[in-house]
Amino acid sequence: MKNLFRYLFVTVKGICMGAADVIPGVSGGTIAFMTGIYEELVGSINSINATAVKLLFTGKFRQFWKHINGNFLLSLIAGILISILSLAKLMQYLLDYQPIQTWAFFFGLIVASSIFILKGIKSWKFNDFVMLVFGIVLGVVVCTLSPTETPDGLWFILLCGAIAICAMILPGISGSFILLVLGKYKYMMDTLANIIDGKGDLMDFLTVIVFVTGAAAGIIAFSKFLHWLLKHYHRQTLLVMAGFIIGSLVKVWPWSDKKTLVMSQFPELMELNRADMLTSDLVMRNFGFIDMHVGGAVLFALVGFFLVVGIEVASSLISKNRSKTV
């Protein structure tokens, strides 16, 4: 019974991680750290190695399950999936009908996340600024030179899953943010929403399966490399990642996608599918006015910003309390 309650609590923590992973700018790894399961999560992932594979294929399933801390991983993944599936439809609605406020919220989240990453860097040197600027330039280049519509092919979905999942084990880096950069955040939210609504076709299910496969392969293949990178080049890695996040803010500017902005305020265009009317100038001539929701954007950006501040402050307090009890 004691173990049952323990794993139920792990599931609840997984739900919190899943909610964070759905929102760009909030890291599931940060939530794992706050809730005291980060080290166990990393250890469990790293235990999926050659020994685990040998146990599995020699039929020693009980030893295999114990070796990878299976009950913990199963409970955590169940919670993450519950949360993601519950929030996918809400995110689809917000991105379709409230895009300015939603992207502004994401913008605030990401600004705050980058600030807290940089806050951890002490005694700045010239090389540090070089690494930061390199990350910023890299982020801007990736986001501005990449096509507006990235491929929907299963090979690219597999790659997205492999890359995005790595963010789960890095506090401060969001997997959803990685999907934003890769141009597949809304696509995956729409796919999940279709399945939840019972409207999903074979391609929707195949897309999710391929994404999950990529995620599983990615977290196993890259977890050790990422930890090696952070162990040996921790400062440089954080600076490049922070710079990349700052540069990638061009991707989430609330007014960057004129088509979505217009269609959110004139849903009749969705039904008409009038491609010739999907520009702000033409719509203003035909309908008279487009509301930029500047006040709402500022408000939601501030909400996103202070949400991350609250999470980071709570994480810091929890960390200090733990150090006192040790």
pLDDT per residue, tens digit, the chain (326 aa), is: 667 778 888 898 888 888 777 776 566 776 776 677 877 887 888 788 889 989 989 989 999 999 999 999 999 999 988 888 888 778 778 877 888 888 888 888 888 878 877 887 888 899 999 999 998 888 788 667 655 567 888 999 999 998 888 766 666 567 787 887 788 888 898 898 888 888 888 899 999 999 999 988 888 777 677 667 767 887 887 788 778 778 878 877 888 766 666 666 666 665 555 544 555 555 555 545 566 778 888 999 999 899 888 877 877 777 677 666 65
Extents of the domains making up the chain: 2-81+99-255+292-325
CA distances, 80 to each of 30, 70, 197, 221 (Å): 14, 15, 19, 21
Contact 298/104 with Cβ under 8 angstroms?
Answer: yes
> What pTM was estimated for this model as a whole?
0.67
* 4 neighbors 22 (Cβ within 8 angstroms): no
CA separation for the pair 324, 148 (Å, rounded)? 50
Q: Which helix (H) or strand (E) holds 68?
A: none
